[in-house]
A and B are shown apart, each in its own frame.
Chain A
């Protein structure tokens, strides 16, 4: 689906004061969007931007198991790559697949040299349903090169804490045994030399992803 971009109408000349007021309104809207507040009429699909979270922070260190059953030391295996990290679950119908479709689509657009310097890592935080096979099948829908990780509840909590996100929790199952998982909805990005840590909310469009991936691979956020 294509959404028409929103171009605000040209504003008439403003006084400095009204310009400042308007700027505050715009900033408030942008802040609300960036923070993903669910209040009021906010739409999840609004266009949003990545947020620079930290500079010169070391990427998280944790060890989980990949979909081939091998130990995967996150900081060692992803060192030197622009790394996109996401904690989700394969029974997630909305936010997770949208993020991954965006990233996969964006990677198809970037230069192949840049593509080689990107690793995308999905951590399945719902072990009862996120078997290595289920994770592999889910990721292959988007890109066979994406890394899928799993672990015990304890290992998964450690990984999420290392990444600075609140550990995922599972809702009580309904009569049918189905349940939703509450998990971090942002994608985290670590530049190749750990110069910058980025956070990407839902709403970063595929085009924007492609641009930011190329910039961050090149080591610049300009």
Chain B
């Protein structure tokens, strides 16, 4: 694990402990994906409204703590500010609000919405003949929602080569509706498909650099709770849970030993 990604995970743990909020395993699942995104898209953390910026949308909004921790690491705001996560007057809600957090492009939370907004933005940039690109991250549980597949149809039909979906394939649905071979399914819908190890930043960056006339999905093979075996082994118990002081200490030990 990159030191940068370990530090981000450590911040996620500490903020969750301090705030009593957060979906830790799903946030851990996407750290490398988000680092790869913010390492490759055109953006300026000091000028989040830069008109020529590319767009990133976290469609699975409940992983907001992961998003904030990564955005803070890239300089959108300080990590200290995020310690107010979920507090009454905080900008940093447990689901992201684009009117409050600089650099958040869409307010998400209910699953299956961000991908449609992302496709609309990509279509707008295509109409405007703009070089701007759109990346969105969708959870594999979120892909149970029919709107994900409606959008997959529309994006292919509209030839949105400027749209990339990162599909966080962390096997979150083992007790529910699992989608086997999501890459084959997207390919059948007319998408370009890349399968990538979801905790390898360089591999993800390379995948994000691929260009096609078709919309592109990166099937990121990830592990929920990646980096701490206690979380990986107990993903359902830890789905939405904040560690107490003693547990935080143990989890941090595991994280830094890994």
| Genuine A/B complex | no
Residues of A that sit less than 8 Å from B by CB: none
Q: B residues within 8 Å of A by Cβ?
A: none
